[in-house]
Amino acid sequence: MERDNTMHGARTALNQNSEMRDWCEDYLKEKERQAKAEMSDEEFQKHWRYHRPEIMHAGAAESVQAYKTRNEKSAED
């Protein structure tokens, strides 16, 4: 249940903040690109276009946390 609440909160944040959503999409795309390193750029673009919605949904909580951590580190510097 906690995971569902976290994911729902993250998805809500992404839907309300386009800057955060863009950053999180780039974060998840780069992470997926590293996991699919054997694919050519063209193959990966097709893969990303098809799988993007499910990757964004599954990775919402992780990417929002990474975004917040990045912003907290920037504020400390």
* Range of the structural domain that residue 53 is part of: 2-76
Cβ(12)–Cβ(35) under 8 Å?
A: no
Cα–Cα distance, 53 to 11 (Å, whole number): 12
Cβ(72)–Cβ(26) under 8 Å?
A: no
Q: In the block, which residue shows the tokens 């063209």?
A: 42
Q: In the prediction, which pLDDT does 2 show? A: 55
Q: In the prediction, which pLDDT does 8 show? A: 83
- Which residues make Cβ contacts (< 8 Å) with residue 55, sequence separation at least 6? 28, 32, 48
**Per-residue pLDDT tens digits for 11-35:** 888 889 999 999 999 999 999 999 9
6, pLDDT greater than 90: no
The rounded Cα 59 to chain-centroid distance in angstroms is: 5
The number of folded domains in the chain is 1
Report the mean per-residue pLDDT for the chain: 89
